Amino acid sequence: MTRAPENKALIVFDLDGTLLDTSVDLVDSLNHTIATIGLVPVTYDDLTSLVGQGARVMIERAGRMQDRPVSQEELPSLVERFVDHYIANMPGHTRPYPGLVAAMDRLKADGYALAVCTNKMEGLATTLLQKLELTHYFDAIIGGDTFEYRKPDARHLTGTIERAGGDVARAVMIGDSINDIAVAKNAGVPVIAVPFGFSDVPVASLDPDTVIAHFDELTGELVESLLKGSAAKVAV
């Protein structure tokens, strides 16, 4: 069994589309919200172009999709409506992706630390993970409103690593979208992409360090090989 060195590595996960399949509940809460301004319901096929920057941006993007711009005056009440509906129905249909819990158990047993870095509001992310009884896995859960910056700003990831007690040189990011891959590259952290999330393009085209199709592939050996390769690049 691979054991992390004394300076244990930290594995940072995105939330929506990476750890959890939140698609049904995001669509449901968004449609509940935008109905009040006369927009027609969005579908899962629309979701890949809507998610990634939190509820506020989802609502704005839904309006632009239907040529009905959402004003800054309307946004606060719409965001509040979205959040209230989303929390009231948690966890709803949201579930961890197949193999995730087993992978986290393996990694924790091998001495690795885990954290979450998401553009979802911290309160929503934490509450959702609590409802799913997953919070004990993570040394830090950092949302899009935790700091004054968010993915793809490198400081969102480096701040997450710091909060979790990790080291940027011993960290790996896992995500499903351009924001996740970009924040990792901006922070100089190796990145693993998953293809089952909400990206509107094939994740392999975004040039992650590697792609895993299932969490069964997420092992200590993979993490250590990525960290070794990253260290070699820095040395060169």
pLDDT for residue 2 = 39
The ranges of the chain annotated as CATH 1.10.150.240 are 23-88
pTM of the entire structure?
Answer: 0.89
The ranges of the chain annotated as CATH 3.40.50.1000 are 10-22+95-235
| Topology given in CATH for the domain delimited by 10-22+95-235 | Rossmann fold (3.40.50)
As annotated, the active-site residues are 14
Cα angle value 174/112/8 (rounded, 5°): 110
CB 50 within 8 A of CB 62: yes
pLDDT tens for each residue of 180-227: 999 999 999 999 999 999 888 999 999 999 999 999 999 999 999 999
CB 75 within 8 A of CB 56: yes
Provide mean pLDDT across the span 16-25: 94
CATH architecture of 23-88: Orthogonal Bundle (1.10)
Show Cβ contacts of residue 135 under 8 Å, excluding neighbours closer than 6 positions: 126, 129, 141
pLDDT for residue 3 = 40
Q: Is the confidence at residue 235, as pLDDT, over 80?
A: no
pLDDT for residue 234 = 60
pLDDT tens for each residue of 106-129: 999 999 999 999 999 999 999 999
